[in-house]
Amino acid sequence: MSDNTPSSPTTPQANAAPGVPRWPLILFGLVVVMLILGGLLLRYVILAPQPGVVQPLQPPLANARERDLLHPDALIESVSLSRLPGELLQVPLLRDTLTEDFVFYYENNADRLGLAGSLRRIVYEHDLTLQDSLIEELLDQPAQVALWRGADGRLSDFLVVMKRGGLAKLLEPLAHIATDDSQLRKVGDLKVGSSSTGLYRLRYNAQKFMLFASRGDYLVLLSNPHMLFTQAKDDDLGEPDKMFASQLATLLAGDDVLPGAFGLGPRGELSQRVSLGAGALAMGYQKFIPAFAGVRFDKDAKGWSSYLALNPVEGQPDLDFSSVWKAMPMGASACVALPVTPGLYDKLLVRLGADRKMAEAFSGHLSGAAGLCWYADSRLYTPLLVATFSAPPSPELDADLGKLFGSLVGAYEANAEGGSFPVEEENSGDTRKWLRQVSSRFGQYPANQAENPDAVGGGAFFRVGMARQGSTLLFSLDDRLLDKGMGTLAKRFPPLADVLPKDALVPAYLAPQSLSALLQQETLDSLPQDMEPVFRNAADSLLLPRLKTFAGFGGYALGLPVGSRAEHPWQWLPLQWRAL
C-alpha cells in the first residue's frame, strides 16, 4: 500500500440543527465526503443499494431526463469485481478497521443471492447448460460499473458493462426461454450498428427488476428499468428513451467511452480504478466549489494511489491553503480546505434572505481559500469555519457583515422580545465579533446557563459566533471554538500549521485518535441505552471496537505538489497521504 492512498473510515453525518444558519455549510459537502469516502466506495462496489427491501417495480427516477448514460456520477473499472472488496482491505487502515466481515457482507448480499437464486431456478426448470456459478463468473470478469445519484443524493442506480471472450454468448440460451418464464421476458430490441439485439428484463427478490442485453462479447446490465424506459408505469414499460437507447447501443458496440466522462483514457494495467465526480461527493454544493472536479483511486501492482481532479475557473486564485492552517487551532480531528472563487456566493446569500448589495460586497471580498475543522471537544455539527478576504474590510463592510450575520443567523424565539435574541457585537482594535443566542435542543449549553432560561426553547441553546480579525473571517456554532481560533490568530494558541508539512499544498488533515473520540461521542449520544437498546448494543459490540482500532493510527496530511493548478478540465493531480 503506497503512502499516497487515503484510508478513511465511514463517518456518520449529523443533520444540521434547526434554528442554525445554513450559509457556512456551503463547503460542508466536500468536507464530509473526505471523511466518508472510504465508506462510499465500500457501500457501492457490488450490486445492491438496499438489501432486503422489497418494493414494486423500482420507482421512477426523479432526474431521469437530466441523466446521461455516458456521463455517470461515479465509475468503477475493475479487472474483477469479486476481487475489489478484498483489494480494498489491502489499505492498512481499512484492513484493520473493517476486518473480513466486509468481504463476507458482499458475498452474502441479499440482492446478489436473489439474483443467483433466480438464475438457478431458470437453469433448472428449463434444463439449460449454464453453470450454477454464473453470478460468480460474471463478477470475476473485467467490468465497468457506472453509478448515478438517486433523488436522495445516494449512489443508487448502476450500469454494468462486461467484456470477455465467449461470456456473453453463455447467456444466449436465456433468449430462447424468455417467452415462457415467469421471471424473465424480452421487453424490446436495441439497434446496434446495422443489426438488432434483444433487451431482457429479469425479476428477482420478489419485485426487483434488472435489464440486460448482450451482443458478441459484450454484456450490459441496468439496475433499474426506468434508466432506459423513462415513461414506464408499473409493469408497462412502454418505449425506450431514444437517446438512452442510442447510448446503450454505443456501449454494446464496444466503444470504451465511460472513462472519458472523467477525463481519463483506458484502464491499462491497473487492476482497479475508482473515480467519483464532484456531483457524487459535494452533496449538492458542487456549484459553489467549481474548481473541484472529483477524486480517483488506482490499484496497480505496487498498491493503491489517489488523485484529485480540478477544473480551471475564471478568477480563481492560485491554490494556497496556508492562511487557513495558520488560523486553525491545533488539535483538530479532521479538516479540509477548499479554493474560494470570488463573486460566486452572492446569489446563494440572497436566496437565504440577505440584502443583494450586502451579499455582493461580502462575496466579492472572499478570496484564496476557506476551511473547516472538527474538534473532539465540540460536536460533529459545530465545526470551525475559516475564510479570508482579499484585504482587511472597510468599516462599511464590517457594518454589512454585522447585518448579514443578524439576518442569516437565528430562529424564531417565541419567548424573546422581537422574535429573536439580540446580536451582541464586540469591537477591539482590528477585531470585530458578533454573537447570537439561538435556541435548539441540539445546543451545547443547557437552558439554565442562559441569562433568561425561561426564554430558551428546546431546553438548550447555541452561542453562534462570527469574528473578523484582519483579513481573516471565522465562524462556528460553538463560540468556544471561535474564541480558540481568535486566540490562535493572536498567537496565544498554536496553529495547526505547526504540524503540517511545509513542502506541500495541504487540502485535508486527519487525526484518527481525535476523530475516533468525536465519533464515539456522537454515536453514544444518538443511541441512548434506554431508548435504543438494540442499536446501542450493536454499536457497542461492532462499531466502538472498530473506532478504538482506528484511534491507534497516527495523523495524516493530504498533500498536493506545490504549484498545482488546473490548466484544463479534469486536471488530475497526485495526492499523497503523509504520516505525521
What is the DSSP code string of 361-430? Answer: HHHHHEEEEEEEEE-TTS-TT-PEEEEEESSPPPHHHHHHHHHHHHHHS----TTSGGGSPPEEEEEETT
Q: In whole angstroms, how far apart are CA 414 and each of 197, 435, 455?
A: 66, 19, 8
- Whether residue 488 lies inside any domain: the answer is no
pLDDT digit string, tens, across residues 321-369: 999 999 999 999 999 998 888 778 888 788 877 778 888 888 888 888 8
pLDDT digit string, tens, across residues 114-145: 555 555 555 545 444 445 555 556 666 788 98
Strand, helix or coil at 201? strand
- Whether residue 58 lies inside any domain: the answer is yes
Question: Which residue in 552, 538, 534, 546 sits closest to 100, CA to CA?
Answer: 546
Given the DSSP bridges, would you call strands 556-560 and 571-579 parallel, antiparallel or unpaired?
Answer: antiparallel
- Whether residue 66 lies inside any domain: the answer is yes
- Whether residue 399 lies inside any domain: the answer is no
- Whether residue 178 lies inside any domain: the answer is yes
pLDDT confidence tier of residue 18, bands split at 50, 70 and 90: very low
Question: Which residue in 37, 95, 23 sits closest to 508, CA to CA?
Answer: 37
Residue type, position 373, single letter: C
- Whether residue 387 lies inside any domain: the answer is no
Range of the domain at 56: 44-267
Task: Mean pLDDT check: name the lowest of 131-140, 287-296, 476-485, 487-496.
Answer: 131-140
pTM of the complete model: 0.77
Q: What is the mean pLDDT of residues 399-408?
A: 87
Tell me how many domains the chain contains: 1
pLDDT for residue 45 is more than 50: no
Q: What is the mean pLDDT of residues 556-576?
A: 91
Give helix 356-365 / helix 395-408 axis angle, nearest 10°: 120
- The torsion defined by the Cα of 483, 489, 495 and 496, in degrees rounded to 10, comes to 80
DSSP designation for 309: E
Do 507 and 30 touch, CB atoms closer than 8 A?
no
As a whole number, the mean pLDDT across the chain is: 78
- Whether residue 577 lies inside any domain: the answer is no
Length of the chain: 580
Residue 361 CB coordination number (10 Å): 18
* Grid cell locating 463: 452561542
Task: Mean pLDDT check: name the lowest of 26-35, 356-365, 389-398, 503-512.
Answer: 26-35
Q: Which residues neighbour 168 within 8 Å (Cβ) at sequence distance 6 or greater?
A: 162, 214, 215, 216, 217, 218, 219
* Grid cell locating 577: 497521504
- Whether residue 416 lies inside any domain: the answer is no
Q: In whole angstroms, how far apart are CA 112 and each of 44, 52, 59, 373, 427?
A: 13, 11, 20, 39, 63
